């Protein structure tokens, strides 16, 4: 399996598609999922091309996980979360829909189930507000 740079997240990385970006460093970009399974659902991707866990360079994987930790801590405050769920899918059989490695970082509230995947499209206004709240928490 090879990396196809035409995937949606590759286009977001190159600025060819818009995204609600919340965090960036030399190795990693994080932005909101537009079909969130819970409010504040964030995707963390490496900047280096990699299809998924099976081909990523370990240093890029480590950078993605470190960024996910920062985002998780900020989500706890920004969304008054009670916990965080991480998910990550590999290849079609593993539930992967977009073939650029991504880690889902999902704020959780006690007693609230995750929405089914791809079942709900968040409004642009809500996504913009959530991105601002998360960026403020990351900065603080
Ligand atoms: P996967 O099943 O590959 O782990 O998850 C792909 C994720 O990408 C899904 O949660 C889906 O909502 C999200 N997604 C699909 N298209 C877009 C898009 O154009 N922009 C953003 N921000 N997220 C997307």
Asked if residue 39 belongs to a domain, the reply is yes
**What is the number of domains present in the chain?**
1
Measured in angstroms, how far is the CA atom of residue 124 from the centroid of ligand 1? 15
Say whether pLDDT at 1 is over 90.
no
Q: Give the confidence band of 26 by pLDDT, cuts at 50, 70, 90.
A: very high
SS3 78: helix
Measured in angstroms, how far is the CA atom of residue 7 from the centroid of ligand 1? 11
Q: Which of 22, 98, 128 to mutate to test the pocket of ligand 1 (most atoms within 8 A of CB)?
A: 98
pLDDT in tens, 6-23: 999 999 999 999 999 999
CB of 124 within 8 A of CB of 63? Answer: no
Report the catalytic residues: 102
Asked if residue 3 belongs to a domain, the reply is no
Asked if residue 2 belongs to a domain, the reply is no
What is the model's pLDDT at position 75? 98
From residue 126, alpha-carbon distances to 13, 36, 88, 114 in Å are 22, 11, 24, 18
Helix (H) or strand (E) holding 85: strand 83-87
pTM value is: 0.98
Asked if residue 1 belongs to a domain, the reply is no
Domain limits for position 28: 8-139
Q: Where are the alpha helices (DSSP H) in 1-140?
A: 8-13, 58-78, 124-139
CB of 36 within 8 A of CB of 115? Answer: yes
CB of 53 closer than 6 angstroms to any ligand 1 atom? no
Q: Which residues of 66-80 are buried (b: 16+ CB within 10 A; e: fewer)?
A: ebbebbbebbbebbe
């Amino acid at each position: 399996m090879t990396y196809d740079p035409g995937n949606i997240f590759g286009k977001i990385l190159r600025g060819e598609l818009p995204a609600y970006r919340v965090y960036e460093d030399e190795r990693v970009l994080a932005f909101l999922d537009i079909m969130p399974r819970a409010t504040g659902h964030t995707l963390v991707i490496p900047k280096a091309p990699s299809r998924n866990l099976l081909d990523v360079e370990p240093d890029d994987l480590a950078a993605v996980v470190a960024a996910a930790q920062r985002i998780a801590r900020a989500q706890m405050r920004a969304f008054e979360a009670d916990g965080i769920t991480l998910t990550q899918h590999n290849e079609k059989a593993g539930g992967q829909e977009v073939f650029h490695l991504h880690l889902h970082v999902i704020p959780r509230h006690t007693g609230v189930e995750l929405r089914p995947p791809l079942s709900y499209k968040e409004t642009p206004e809500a996504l913009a507000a959530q991105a601002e709240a998360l960026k403020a928490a990351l900065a603080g």
